[in-house]
Structure 1
Amino acid sequence: MNFKGKLALQQRVLPSYRVPFFDLLASHCTNGMTLFAGQARSEEMIVGGTTQIAKHIEAKNIHLFGGKFYLCYQKGFIDWLEESKPDALIVEANPRYLSTPSAVKWLHKRGRKVIGWGLGAPKQNQFWKNFVSQFDSMIAYSQRGADEYASLGFPREKIFVAHNSVSSKPEKPDDRPLTIDRATILFVGRLQNRKRIDSLIRACAEMESKPKLVIVGDGPERENLQTLAKEIYPQTEFVGAKHGLELKPYFEKADLFVLPGTGGLAVQEAMSYGLPVIVAKGDGTQDDLVREKNGWQIEPENYDVLVSTMKEALSDVKRLREMGKESFRIVSEEINIEKMVEVFIQALSS
């Protein structure tokens, strides 16, 4: 199924992990797809990407203020629309992006559709109700996000759920052994305070089975974490930042993936290797991905629950393997970029 027209898609930035999805979506647009995105702030440390099929036009991002007061104005938005002449526009549904309203009016003046794509509406108030009402349809990252849009009065039949994904449908991994001498716990991500990796190291130190802990990634907290591990859990291995196929051997050798803090793009990748997962509750994107049959969602600030959940997970290897198989089924059949594209095309064609 294709979108019979030319698609324009706006993003604040173009992170490398989104490139496969955007190129796949572009391949399903009969008249092509043009992508408008600028640069992140240096302190965000977002790795940019380059599309091969979607035509990327560089936006000039003007970043205003910071923290909860952050705003972004994308210079050249209307010029881009006038030059590309799209049949439909998809924008990030974020009221902090000041260029969006004028772009929506530009499309509507020409009788063309504008779709908002976002996490949901964190505040159920008149401001958010007015913001989402400007769109013709909404695409939510999760069912929770879809419910939040609906609770604002946005028509249910115009809300689509495209489960947030960064990976293609995976190949089936090799079966893992049903008996192990010592489990391997894996973390993959930036080494930042909000990831709560210190809690993971402390939790491993409380495990009677003394699992091997492998931490893949780099970041500002690496030195502090290495010092902590040396003091309380020297079984911890820090391997530095790895990307793409470099990650494969670490996922293949692991028995359990744990993400004790916020974030989590690596969760789906871990599941594609048939790993059960323990993740902290967040913005709702994990709700559809992590279920009772393939993992555990825990409160991000509750250390005792992290410890007890890890102990429970490691207490039954056979159950762990069954949960890993369910992880693979979910990302193979339900949540991958191919499924995302299907939903986007449905929304565009509705």
Structure 2
Amino acid sequence: MEDSKKPIKVAVTYRVCQHWRVPIFARLSRHPRIQLTVLHGSSVPNTKVTNGDNLDDISHVEHWTIKKSGVQWVCHPLIWVTLLRMRPDVILSEGGSNFFTNFFVLAYAMLTRTPVVWWTLGELQGKRQLSLPSRIFRAMMQWQERRASVYLGYSSVALRYFQRMGYPDERCFRAVNCVDTERVFADIESRQSSVAALREQIGITDQTTTILFVGALVRSKKIDRLLHAYRSLRDEYPDARLVIVGDGPDRSRLQQLAAEQAIAEQTLFAGQVVEQVSDYFEIADVFVLPGLGGLAVSEALAHGLPVLCGLGDGCEVDLVRNGESGFRISSNDDEVVVSALVEKLKTLLGQPATLAIMKENARNVILKEHNVDTYTANVVDAIGYAATGTRELPLPTIQSFDAD
């Protein structure tokens, strides 16, 4: 067994070091049990696979990357050289998203008997692998997965997947995916004057109810569902506004759709906002995530916003309690999701008392259950188990999957 007083040397292998992961890696780096270095590649043009510009707070090594503009799949074939020099005690590996690089990572791990923590969402809900290439890819990824020592999932969805795959419970951990909630609370306290200025700038009054989306404007986010739902609400709730924060290749199509639906004047496309994004959460009343996503859910809840969401990366199962902190919609059918969004938005817009209660419940989910402290504690526990064979936290309980 490893000396419990000696920090565990951890190599994190990621495609890139995204800006929203940096605060988590920084917190892990400050943990007394962890000595952490992030091994990553260079940014990929025209994708979300980009490094943050705030990497000074972490130890990291950027590797030569095989990549193609507009394609999210990359490979760092020389990562094994850094691993050989570093000799980590544990490798914390980005799961299937880093598929090609993981062959090199796992080869090193198998040759040196270095334990690997496989950090993954498990599998996307509602997505069936029907084509032969998809099934082959899935089989190869599961081959990689089975070479890991420990399984660290984003959510209860991942835990259920681990059970189905037959991985032993004691080797399975859950760290519910979330943003740096400590930073979110600090931003809320420090930015009240800028929030007031933003409300005035975009015409938000005390009578306005604001529906918010924050994320990349890509087709997988299914933002057109939200636009159609908002169009169905506009006549009945003329004081409701829709604010869409983010940018991406789907922006022009969505703006055209808003114009066709005659909701362009009531819909604000704010563009990409990073440093001041808290202001937009603060002016909102309800957050909607109609397609894939996950991290924005925790950010919305931390700002006291009930969340309406479809099938995401799985963390919504742990964070969004139906009728308490929001509503989850289990269907992946566009018409069903739009109809459910309209119904649930009417419930919140038409019942201010219910909305107020759900706002309080939303914030309490973060304050009391899932936040950056619980997140990092579970990641550290998984790393510690990989290094020593001992876990300090109890086995997680799988959250109910019941949804509307």
TM range (shorter): 0.7 to 0.9
Q: Which residue in the other structure is 1:183 paired with?
A: 209
Q: CA RMSD in A?
A: 2.9
Give the 5 Å matches for 1:97-116: 97-116=99-118
Counterpart check, 1:238 vs 2:266: no
Query: Cα distance, 1:280 vs. partner?
Result: 1.5
* Structure 1 stretch displaced more, 164-173 or 210-219: 164-173
Equivalence for 1:177:
none
Looking at structure 1, the residues matched to 70 and 243 of structure 2 have their Cα atoms a distance apart, in angstroms, of: 34
Q: Is the 8 A contact 1:27 1:53 kept in 2?
A: no
CA separation of 1:52 and 1:259: change in aligned 2, threshold 3 A: same
From 40, 55, 58, the equivalent of 1:54 is: 58
Look up the match of 2:158.
145
Structure 1 counterpart of 2:380: 345
1:204 to 2:207 alignment: no
The answer to whether structure 1 residue 306 and structure 2 residue 321 are counterparts is: no
Q: Counterpart in 1 of 2:281? A: 251
Aligned-pair distance for 1:264?
4.0
CA distance 1:88–1:332, change in 2 (3 Å): same
Q: Is the Cα–Cα contact under 8 Å of residues 16 and 43 in structure 2 kept in the other structure? A: yes
Structure 1 residue 66: deviation in Å? 9.1
Distance 1:218 1:72, change over 3 A: closer
Moved more, 339-348 or 36-45: 36-45
Displacement of 1:63 in angstroms is 3.7
Q: Is the 8 A contact 2:45 2:69 kept in 1?
A: no
CA drift at 1:41 = 2.9
**Superposed displacement of residue 8, structure 1:** 0.8
- Counterpart position of 1:167: 180
The answer (yes or no) to whether the contact 1:137–1:158 under 8 Å persists in 2 is yes
**Which AA in structure 2 matches 1:222?**
R
Cα 1:183–1:57 change in 2 (3 A) is same
Q: Given the two structures, how large is their TM-score scaled by the length of structure 2?
A: 0.76
Work out the number of aligned pairs and report it: 343
Question: What does 1:3-22 align with in structure 2 at a 5 Å threshold?
Answer: 4-22=7-25
C-alpha displacement of 1:273: 0.8
- Aligned residue for 2:319, secondary structure, equals coil
Residue 336 of structure 2 is aligned to residue 274 of structure 1 = no
Cα distance between partner residues in 1 of 2:103 and 2:230: 49
Range with greater deviation from structure 2 (189-198 or 282-291): 189-198
**2:148 aligned with 1:135, yes or no?**
yes
1:191-248 Cα offsets, whole Å, 9 max, x none, are 233333333233223220121122222233333433443451222223222112x123
Q: Tell me the CA shift for residue 109 of structure 1.
A: 4.1
Q: CA deviation at 1:97?
A: 2.1
Q: In the alignment, is residue 83 of structure 1 matched against residue 112 of structure 2?
A: no
Query: C-alpha distance in 2, partners of 1:47/1:55?
Result: 17
Normalised by the length of structure 1, the TM-score is 0.87
Q: Which runs of 5+ in 1 are unaligned?
A: 175-179
Q: Which runs of 5+ in 2 are unaligned?
A: 130-134, 190-205, 386-404
Change (3 A) 1:107 1:224: closer
Whole-angstrom distance in 1 between the partners of 2:221 and 2:103: 34
Distance in 2 (alpha carbons) for counterparts of 1:100 and 1:42 = 22
Supply the AA of the counterpart residue of 1:36: L
Counterpart amino acid of residue 191 in structure 1: L
Counterpart of 2:91, as a letter, is L
Deviations 1:158-206 (A, max 9, x none): 10001111223353969xxxxx633111122222333333332332232
* TM-fit CA distance, 1:2: 8.6
SS in 2 for 1:347: helix
CA distance in 1 between counterparts of 2:49 and 2:109 reads 30
Structure 1: how far apart are the matches of 2:43 and 2:76? 12
Following superposition, the deviation at residue 127 of structure 1 comes to 5.1
How far off is 1:4 after superposition? 2.3
Which of the residues 348, 356, 360 maps onto 1:321?
A: 356
Partners of 1:142 and 1:288 within 8 A in 2: yes
Deviation at 1:323, TM superposition (A): 1.1
